[in-house]
Amino acid sequence: MGSGEWHVEKRSTLRNDSFVKESGSAPETGCLSIVVLGASGDLAKKKTFPALFNLYRQGFLNPDEVHIFGYARTKLSDEELRDRIRGYLVDQKNADALSKFLQLIKYVSGPYDSEEGFQRLDRAISEHEISKNSSEGSSRRLFYLALPPSVYPSVCKMIKTCCMNKSDLGGWTRIVVEKPFGKDLDSAEQLSSQIGELFDESQIYRIDHYLGKELVQNMLVLRFANRFFLPLWNRDNIENVQIVFREDFGTEGRGGYFDEYGIIRDIIQNHLLQASIPDIIFIYLQVLCLVAMEKPISLKPEHIRDEKVKVLQSVVPITDEEVVLGQYEGYRDDPTVPDDSNTPTFATTILRIHNERWEGVPFILKAGKALNSRKAEIRIQFKDVPGDIFRCQKQGRNEFVIRLQPSEAMYMKLTVKQPGLEMQTVQSELDLSYGQRYQGVSIPEAYERLILDTIKGDQQHFVRRDELKVESCCVGDLYAVAAQD
Ligand SMILES: NC(=O)C1=CN([C@@H]2O[C@H](COP(=O)(O)OP(=O)(O)OC[C@H]3O[C@@H](n4cnc5c(N)ncnc54)[C@H](OP(=O)(O)O)[C@@H]3O)[C@@H](O)[C@H]2O)C=CC1
Ligand SMILES: O=C1O[C@H](COP(=O)(O)O)[C@@H](O)[C@H](O)[C@H]1O
């Protein structure tokens, strides 16, 4: 390879071979049925079906093996469902792939709590399996719950009663559930128990799609494959860590869902921490874990998740003084939001981690909807240089910034000599912007990657039950503050 050239391996080779070797699980083949429950909804059309289409057109879903089923209460024909989602499937230019993909989709309408509907769904899946497996073989059934969490227990019960894979020769049944996983510790535990009575932990994939974002997936590599960071990543060198999520749009008709959960559960608990504050804060806990955790003993999912749990267990209870909540003007104008709603759409809080590495370092989490820009980033701010000899100028701090979106990038802010005859300092950047450095490489959408992981049985980027419990504990204080206000 010439200088300046680089080589991108196919994703399947990149991670999975090493992972499969470590975990000892063999790649699986055979008939695959993917069932999207809540197929009439917002998530299904915006994220789930587009991710499935992208996997299909890149060759990750074999048309000889796969069939996709939509299930929801709304009465629709197969063609009506296809028409609803067609506009969200990107590669409109590749009409052939698009129409072949749409033909793989069938729709079954039924309630979420009646065996009759799920028996019809089971028959549709079985017909597909029989048509694909001329001789009996392993069959794989993936149920994706693109639904409000309130219906998870009944849907899981129906799947267990009516729709499990029947092959004695292998295969599996897996369940993907979306956050928020409950509203507080009690409801999270209750939901976990209800689902846990029906399925093994190895069958349950709790999805937080921020864990599928390229730069979040890069965190372990950055931290543990670079000598640069190893000695600096601690309380001796780091002043604070900021994890920020801003959206420049509001609830847009999702108020019915959002108002019940709020920004803490929507984002902070899930994506940023995966604990339990307004929906936005939920997102942040997982990201925080990746920034703060110790090196796992291997890349095995259980080893990584063990280290994340330790971080969450070390989070100190949040105090009222370190929480600010707000609601954007106009939120209550959304017809799906109650006129007297007090639900926060903005939250900022400080988390403190009581361990040897992080004692005294504030982790500042900020998340908000309908702000003036859209951005998600992790900003590591370093301490000032001791004994600064450039006193004439106020030196900027060193910062390491990981921008998750938009335009994935990471850059280091550092002080250099201003070019010229004078000895003056100036802040500059070492910049790795993905758009420039990896031109022509398409970065997979988070959901693509995570759905592929569920098919491969890799739970590394999903939330384990005990992680969820500790998360809910650590943000429980935040919920309490939100409830007071
Ligand atoms: N939308 C998004 O961008 C994202 C959503 N999520 C998560 O995905 C899940 C689904 O979200 P989303 O698609 O936005 O939600 P929707 O409100 O669009 O609900 C999805 C479907 O569920 C059914 N449904 C809605 N409300 C109820 C109810 N009260 N009881 C029973 N069924 C109901 C409806 O189908 P029908 O009436 O036809 O049965 C609806 O089409 C949530 O857990 C959310 O947190 C996660 C990340 C992003
Ligand atoms: O889970 C959610 O995430 C989206 C933001 O996802 P992004 O990948 O587009 O950044 C957020 O809008 C939504 O409220 C929340 O439920």
One-character DSSP codes across 313-330: HTBPPPPGGGEEEE--TT
Nearest C-alpha neighbor of 453 from the set 465, 441, 444, 440 = 444
DSSP string, 353-412: B-STTTTT-EEEEEEESS-SS-EEEEEEEEPPPTT-S-TTS-PPPPEEEEEEESS-EEEE
pLDDT tens digits along 412-445: 999 999 899 988 888 999 999 999 999 988 888 9
Nearest CA owner, ligand 2 atom 13 = 266
367 CA from centroid of ligand 2 (Å): 11
Characterize the bridge pairing of strands 399-405 and 375-382: antiparallel
Residue 26 neighbours by CB distance under 10 Å: 8
Q: To test the ligand 2 pocket, which listed residue (88, 247, 258, 287) has its Cβ within 8 A of the most ligand atoms? A: 247
Burial code (b: 16+ CB inside 10 Å, e: under 16) for 299-330 equals ebbeebbbbbbbbbebbeebeeebbebebeee
What is the rounded CA–CA span in Å between residue 178 and residue 197? 18
Other CB atoms within a 10 A radius of the CB of residue 210 amount to: 27
Look at residue 295 in the predicted model and tell me its pLDDT: 97
Span from the CA of 447 to the centroid of ligand 2 (angstroms) = 11
Cα 275 to ligand 1 centroid, rounded to whole Å: 21
Phi, psi dihedrals of residue 314, rounded to the nearest 5°:
-95, 0
Which residue in the list 128, 209, 271, 461 is annotated as catalytic?
A: 271
Closest atom, ligand 2, to C-alpha of 257: 16
Is 262's C-beta closer than 6 angstroms to any atom of ligand 1?
no
The model's pTM is 0.82
pLDDT for res 268: 59
Atom 39, ligand 1: residue with shortest CA distance? 73
Indicate whether 478 pLDDT > 60.
Answer: no
Residue where the block lists tokens 């033909």? 103
**Residue 226 in this model has a pLDDT that exceeds 60:** yes
Q: Does the pLDDT of residue 404 top 90, yes or no?
A: yes
Give the separation between CA 208 and CA 387, rounded to whole angstroms.
Answer: 44
pLDDT single digits (tens) 149-201: 889 999 999 999 999 987 666 789 999 998 777 777 777 788 889 999 999 99
Please give the pLDDT value at position 215.
94
pLDDT at residue 233 tops 90: yes
CB 220 within 8 A of CB 355: no
Specify whether the backbone of 440 is left (phi greater than 0), alpha (psi in -120 to 50) or beta. Answer: left
* Ligand 1 atom, smallest distance to 73 CA: 39
Instruction: Give the model's pLDDT for residue 116.
Output: 97
- What's CA 328's distance to the chain center, in Å? 25
More confident residue, 180 or 44: 44
Mean pLDDT of 209-236: 94
DSSP summary character for residue 335: T
Rounded (5°) CA angle 125-127-129? 70
Q: Give Cα 378 distance to the centre of its chain.
A: 15
Q: Which amino acid residue places its CA nearest to atom 47 of ligand 1? A: 43
pLDDT at 479: 56
Residues 6+ apart with CB under 8 A from 327: 341, 342, 343, 344, 345, 346
475 falls in which pLDDT band (50, 70, 90)?
Answer: low
Query: Is the pLDDT reported for residue 220 higher than 80?
Result: yes
Question: Which residue is closest in CA terms to ligand 2's atom 14?
Answer: 266
Atom in ligand 1 nearest the alpha carbon of residue 180: 45
Which atom belonging to ligand 2 lies closest to the Cα atom of 374? 10
Ligand 2 atom at minimum distance from 213 CA? 8
Identify the pLDDT of residue 137.
56
Tell me, what's the pLDDT at 481? 55
Q: Among 35-39, 143-147, 230-234, 458-462, whose mean pLDDT is lowest?
A: 458-462
109, β-bridge pairs: 72
Catalytic site includes residue 271: yes
Query: How remote is the CA of residue 479 from the centroid of ligand 1, in Å?
Result: 23
- Nearest protein CA to atom 4 of ligand 1, as residue: 43
Give the per-residue pLDDT at 142.
97
Q: Closest-lying ligand to the alpha carbon of 270?
A: 2
Q: Residue whose CA is closest, atom 43 of ligand 1?
A: 148
- Find out whether the beta carbon of 266 lies less than 6 Å from any atom of ligand 2: yes
User: What pLDDT, on the 0 to 100 scale, is given for residue 189?
Assistant: 82
Determine the Cα–Cα distance for residues 438 and 235; give it in Å rounded to an integer: 33
Could you tell me what percent of the chain has a pLDDT over 90? 53
- Return the closest-CA partner of residue 344 out of 335, 331, 356: 331
pLDDT score recorded for residue 273: 42
Whether the CB of 45 sits within 6 Å of ligand 1: no
Residue appearing with tokens 């049985």: 457
12-40 per-position pLDDT tens digit: 333 333 333 334 444 467 799 999 999 99
Is 259 a pocket residue for ligand 2 (Cβ < 6 Å)? no
Q: What is the mean pLDDT of the chain?
A: 84
CA of 178, closest atom in ligand 1: 43
In whole angstroms, what is the distance from residue 176 CA to residue 142 CA?
Answer: 8
**How far, in Å, CA of 359 to CA of 141, rounded?**
45
ipTM reported for the complex, 2 dp: 0.96
Q: Which residues contact 48 (CB under 8 A, 6 or more apart)?
A: 36, 144, 146, 447, 451
Pocket lining: 445 vs ligand 2, CB cutoff 6 Å: no
- Residues ≥6 apart with Cβ < 8 Å to 267: 245, 277, 278, 279, 280, 281, 282, 283, 284, 367
The residue with greater pLDDT, 69 or 180, is: 69
Residue 314 reports pLDDT greater than 80 = yes
Distance CA 270, CA 36 (A): 21
Query: Would the CB of 41 count as within 6 Å of ligand 1?
Result: yes
pLDDT tens-digit profile of 344-399?
Answer: 889 899 999 999 999 999 999 998 999 999 999 999 999 998 888 886 556 678 99
> 247 in ligand 2 pocket by Cβ < 6 Å?
yes
Q: Is the CB of 219 under 6 A from ligand 1?
A: no
Query: In this structure, which residue's CA is closest to atom 23 in ligand 1?
Result: 38
Is the distance from the beta carbon of residue 208 to the nearest atom of ligand 2 less than 6 Å? no
Residue type, 327: Q
DSSP state of 294: P
Considering only CA atoms, which of 265, 277, 255 is closest in space to residue 480?
277
- Give every CB contact of residue 434 below 8 A, 6+ residues apart in sequence: 214, 407, 408, 409, 441, 443
